[in-house]
Chain A
Amino acid sequence: MSATSTAVTSAKAQRSGGSPIRGWNWMASLFLTPALLLLGVFMLYPVISTIVLSFDRGLGNYIRLLTADRRFLDLSTFPPSGALFNNVLWVVFYTTGCIFFGLLIAVLATRVRYEPAIKAIVFLPMAIAATALGVIWRFVYTPDRDTGLLNALLGIFHLGPIAFLGDTGWVNTALIIAGIWGSVGFATVILSAALKGISTEVLEAARVDGARESQIFRRIIIPMLSLPISVVAVTLVINVIKLFDLIYVMTAGGPGSSSRVIAFTMYQEAFPAGRVDYGAAVAVMMLVILIPVLIFNVRRFRSERVVQ
């Protein structure tokens, strides 16, 4: 008995570190050093120096950004405008759009024999670089009916031409649609895999229990997909808050500044305009906006693990 308890104690001591008296494990520290150094130099230092840079004029950059810079946030109009508000539009419509169409395609595709072909086609845009995607959609939206697919279609009904990317009323909608086209494959593939994970017996049980197909979808499938849906949503939200390339290629924030988003503003201020400290303040804003999303993500994964 005593021999066993000694063994247990020493095993505990070993687990908590080689020399429990001093509470410091030199060997572990040695192995950790390279990783910590790399993280420190290439991640921690840039973050801190960006934050420091953004306070170059005290709180001046932030005050200007949130109160005076109408290109970043303008609450005087209705609906509000500016890069921050545009990003809100993106988060809401792009994310729901991707999930809605992703789910729709996933559910419909599982019912047909040529499902792999459909999924491959929908997923194809994921393989295209965002810049190439931007170029493709610029052609689609061109007012010239000889090159612009959409206006050519509208022409059949004697409508248009509409300058989708040149009209402040249309530009964000047009960009978000292009964005959804590019990402719906991602949502489709993940949700369709999750859909396959739902046991057919559960669906049959619901059918026998008296549920119509629409009720099965609403009350069984959607709740059972809530975790994958939230995974997709969080991933899309994080991506869209950082959105830059599509805007840069398609409109360069224009017309005027009507299609700017946060990341594009950051680039625009820091590089072409040369206001590095102001750009840094925008970057910090972006980080502040992302932090709650990241916390939500980490928390959810933790709670999932507890449940399992």
Chain B
Amino acid sequence: MATVTFDHVSKRYGPEVVAVNDLNLEIQDGEFLVLVGPSGCGKTTALRCVAGLEEITDGQLRIGDRVVNDVAPKDRDIAMVFQSYALYPHMSVFDNLAFGLKLRKTPKDQIKRRVDEAAKILGLERLLDRKPKALSGGQRQRVALGRAIVREPEVFLMDEPLSNLDAKLRVETRANIARLHQRLETTTVYVTHDQVEAMTMGDRIAVMRDGLLQQVGSPQDLYEHPVNIFVAGFIGSPSMNFATTQVDEGGLKLGEARLELSAKAAQVAADRPRGSQVTIGFRPEHLELLNGEDSGVVKIPAKVDVVEFLGNEELLHADAQGNEIVALVSSDRRVKVGDLIDFALPIDKLHIFDPETEKSLTA
């Protein structure tokens, strides 16, 4: 097991395209780090740099204490799970799992023992004689995982390993991978574009955008204290509501409505020049229907456009002074389309962002 360190790592394709821009990131020994971001953000490139499948243009990449910039993939002691699984189609499941060990001239009895062990962990015992063609998507995925774990490498690299599975299998496999990591405690770098996967699996999450690292932290940290509008909008589902407001005496004005602030938010607003604009953000699940006069909440008036009933909860799409917002509320009080209601937002759940720099003022 080992740490993985990105030390000012950049990857450029030609002079124009910067896939990874000055990435600094240290992945701890045994940690499960998720690299997340929209497609084209450089997360897969960063992973491929660790694998040695891409040469880095600048900076230094270390696995453990060893600088691996010029080390071939085969000598990096890493194992990778590909999005398409990349199984060897002409080999049986056993041979797929054993291939890496055979190349390392591992003794036959040891190969058999390790393959059987991996097969048992992943429930592949009965499939060892089959060719990949005769396996279902979920089974192939497990073979791909198995091929990585038999090698007992220093680092696991996973490139969107769940994206080809159906929704149900994805949830199942997500839990399996998490369990596997708890058991093996191998340093894992996991790439996904799915923030739910990132939130549920990662010890820490690194959010990337346009080749730049935006924020690294625990899932809770990212959820509660996003450093900018991008991270705030990317993490959490349904995603955060944003609205433009004007700074007013001791509070903010959302269209005609005045938002009374207190605590840190009030301080932030007070520091801004009166009349200037700030972007506020609040999560749909933090909005509640106002019950009488609650204290410590921001009151947001809105008109309901669409009601999506989800069972015990409902998703309300509403218009708050010209801003489209979404609220996830209990379905006890049946709200109807066209209702004029007041949402209550706990004051500590309000995020304020600088509209110019998009950086958080409350984090």
Contacts and interface: CB of A to CB of B under 8 A. Distances in A.
B74 A202 contact: no
A212 B72 CA distance: 10
A204 interface: yes
A25 interface: no
A135 B88 CA distance: 46
B241 interface: no
A contact residues, range: 10 to 19
Interface string A197-240: 00101101111111110010001100110100000000000000
Contact of A201 (B52, B79, B84, B104): B84
A208 B79 contact: yes
Contact of A205 (B52, B86, B103, B104): B86
B73 interface: yes
A43 interface: no
Contact of B103 (A204, A210, A224): A210
Nearest to A201: B86
Contacts of A226: 90
A233 to B, nearest CB: 18
Interface string B103-133: 1100000000000000000000000000001
B273 to A, nearest CB: 54
A307 interface: yes
B53 interface: yes
Nearest to B151: A209
B74 A211 contact: yes
B46 to A, nearest CB: 16
B322 interface: no
A293 to B, nearest CB: 24
Given A205-B87, A210-B74, A223-B90, 4 more contacts: A201-B86, A204-B80, A210-B100, A307-B133
Interface of B: 51-53, 72-74, 78-80, 82-84, 86-91, 99-100, 103-104, 133, 147, 151
28 contacts: A199-B84, A199-B86, A201-B82, A201-B83, A202-B86, A202-B87, A202-B88, A202-B89, A204-B82, A205-B82, A205-B86, A205-B87, A205-B88, A205-B147, A207-B72, A207-B74, A208-B51, A208-B79, A209-B100, A209-B103, A209-B147, A209-B151, A210-B103, A211-B99, A215-B103, A223-B90, A224-B90, A226-B90
Interface of A: 199, 201-202, 204-212, 215, 219-220, 223-224, 226, 307
User: What 5 A-B pairs have minimum CB-CB distances, sorted nearest first?
Assistant: A201-B86, A209-B100, A205-B86, A210-B74, A223-B90
